[in-house]
Amino acid sequence: MAVVPAGALMRRAAFGVAVVAAELLAGKRRVGLLVGAGNNGGDALWAGYYLRKRGVAVSAVLLTPDRVHAEGLAAFRRVGGRVVPRLRDVDLVIDGIVGLSARGPLRPDAAEHVAHLEAPVLSVDLPSGVDPDTGAVSGPAVRAHTTVTFGCLKPVHALADCGDVRLVDIGLDGELHGPDLVELDIADIGVAWPVPGPEDDKYTQGVTGIAAGSATYPGAAVLATGAALLSTSGLVRYAGPAAEDVRARWPESICTGSITDAGRVQAWVVGPGLGTGLGAEAVLRTVLEAGVPVCADADAITMLANNPDLWDARDPDTLLVLTPHDREYERLAGPVGTDRVTAARKAAERYNAVVLLKGHATVIAGPDGRVLVNRARSSWAATAGSGDVLSGVLGSLLAAGLDPVLAAGCAAKVHALAADLASDGAPIPATSLLAALPDAIRAVRPL
Ligand SMILES: NC(=O)C1=CN([C@@H]2O[C@H](COP(=O)(O)OP(=O)(O)OC[C@H]3O[C@@H](n4cnc5c(N)ncnc54)[C@H](O)[C@@H]3O)[C@@H](O)[C@H]2O)[C@@H](O)CC1
Ligand SMILES: Nc1ncnc2c1ncn2[C@@H]1O[C@H](COP(=O)(O)OP(=O)(O)O)[C@@H](O)[C@H]1O
Ligand SMILES: [K+]
């Protein structure tokens, strides 16, 4: 703002909004604006101005008539824009209620206008009512068909549903610092995914150890072992009371009844279905002492939360990835709250571990401050046993030697993709998600 003429950034932004609006209108001619008190409302009014100049009928509701972007309103009026008490018969709504300075959900008057909308909504910068920094929705909010944002993506675009997100360049490039959050794309994952070369054999690609399952929950062991087998072509060892079940389902795994004679591995997955009794504690201790990277999931997290002495078993240099869902997180570090990125960061720092906080938007924080986000495209992965699959995928990537933050990011993305591919619009059990892993990996691998 200091280096460009006053109002220039807003006009560039608004012009970008008008271009996308014209595209969404696809020949229709009536646009309504919801205009709030700040610059977001100013963007909407200027977008209305550009649309009017293209012959579109534009009406605007001013939510706070005494606090409105004055130049934007004057320009809008100059070209024949109408101010109305309520939007009626419009083909597209432009949401300029609040933008980056928004706090909290929509206030009742704005919520009332939004509740009655029938036309698709084009949000300026973010769907109003959704928190810009955390993506939290704690009350009424706009549901956007499309969001147009400026200069760079903001955390809300990675953490919440903003519809189709379009980025408009308004000339901020030189001013932007590196990203606070990173979302891996398919190409990043395709490059990172371990692939055997001519020199490889079953050991060189990393051996994954699975310490999971119990007499009560043998299925978790079967799912985690299968996921490791399907994710890389290295060897997978299983150790625990579900050895018979695992061997029957996965004859290619090497199974033993006890962790003490499991043999060497390059990474351990510990926890799914393991239980939390004394035997399980001894298993967790053995794994943490092994000096190889560990993915601690499910019951392993609960044990670490309940018995802090267990942390002493870990060599401080041992790479650890914790994969809690919200309730497991709460046992470890208190309530997650609405700011999932801060929650994951806090636990990563406290435990000197990579923390993968599961959910629709999975947040991965490294102890070095890196944060990755992966927002799922559907919620079909929210099913029993799907976390066991995730831990197996992640363990095999750790065994292959991937950096643990990258491993967690790759696992989260491929897991979510497998859920989409398996589901194709219908509910699926975790065994189907598991079976779709090869398709998901093929989909990310370079052609
Ligand atoms: N910073 C920049 O370089 C640019 C910013 N632009 C626009 O400016 C916006 C930010 O503008 P502002 O800082 O004025 O902030 P906003 O437009 O987000 O508005 C803040 C105003 O809304 C009120 N408000 C906050 N939360 C509310 C709630 N829950 N319900 C109702 N009212 C609420 C506040 O009291 C304040 O008056 C961006 O989102 C973007 O649209 C663009 O013009 C492009 C350039
Ligand atoms: N609403 C959702 N949308 C998309 N993915 C979800 C959703 N809820 C959970 N998941 C994913 O499903 C998996 C569930 O793991 P978890 O809770 O450990 O299940 P389980 O213990 O039954 O295996 C995680 O990978 C999580 O990110
Ligand atoms: K908005």
DSSP 406-428: HHHHHHHHHHHHHHHHHHTTS--
- Measured in Å, residue 91 CA sits from the centre of ligand 1 at 25
Counting every residue written for the chain, the total comes to: 447
Domain positions in the chain are 8-175, 186-444
Question: pTM of the full predicted structure?
Answer: 0.95
Residues 384 and 416: beta-carbon distance below 8 Å: no
135 is in an annotated binding site: no
Nearest ligand, measured from the Cα of 381: 2
Nearest Cα residue to atom 24 of ligand 1: 102
The DSSP call for residue 124 is E
The ligand 1 atom at the shortest distance from the C-alpha of residue 42 is 43
Q: What is the pLDDT of residue 5?
A: 85
Q: Judge whether 390 and 376 are in contact, CB under 8 Å.
A: no
In terms of DSSP bridges, do strands 30-35 and 57-62 run parallel, antiparallel, or are they unpaired? parallel
The pLDDT score that the predictor gives to residue 174 is: 82
Residue 390 near residue 259, CB atoms below 8 Å = no
**210 vs 393: CA distance, rounded Å:** 11
ipTM: 0.90
Q: What is the spatial order of strands in the sheet that 57-62 belongs to?
A: 82-83, 57-62, 30-35, 92-96, 121-124, 146-150, 164-168
Could you give the C-alpha distances from 335 to 17, 65, 189, 326, in angstroms and in order? 38, 40, 31, 8
CA of 123 from ligand 1 middle (Å) equals: 12
CATH of 8-175, one of 3.40.50.10260, 3.10.690.10, 3.40.50.10490, 3.30.70.20: 3.40.50.10260
pLDDT at position 3: 81
Tokens representing 213?
């399952």
* Residue of 1, 9, 20, 40 to test ligand 1 pocket, by largest number of atoms within 8 Å of CB: 40
Q: Which of 33, 61, 100, 124 to mutate to test the pocket of ligand 1 (most atoms within 8 A of CB)?
A: 100
Here the tokens at position 362 are 């999975």
Among 418, 425, 395, 427, smallest CA distance to 408 is for 395
pLDDT per residue rounded down to tens, the chain (447 residues)? 788 888 999 999 999 999 999 999 999 999 999 999 999 999 999 999 999 999 999 999 999 999 999 999 999 999 999 999 999 999 999 999 999 999 999 999 999 999 999 999 999 999 999 999 999 999 999 999 999 999 999 999 999 999 999 999 999 888 888 899 999 999 999 999 999 999 999 999 999 999 999 999 999 999 999 999 999 999 999 999 999 999 999 999 999 999 999 999 999 999 999 999 999 999 999 999 999 999 999 999 999 999 999 999 998 899 999 999 999 999 999 999 999 999 999 999 999 999 999 999 999 999 999 999 999 999 999 999 999 999 999 999 999 999 999 999 999 999 999 999 999 999 999 999 999 999 999 999 988
CATH architecture label of 186-444: 3-Layer(aba) Sandwich (3.40)
Asked whether the beta carbons of 370 and 385 are under 8 A apart, the reply is no
- Three-point CA angle 107, 108, 114, nearest 5°: 90
Among 270, 358, 383, 420, which is best to mutate for testing ligand 2, by the most ligand atoms less than 8 A from CB? 358
- Has 240 been labeled as part of a binding site? no
C-alpha to C-alpha distance for 69 and 82, rounded to whole angstroms:
15
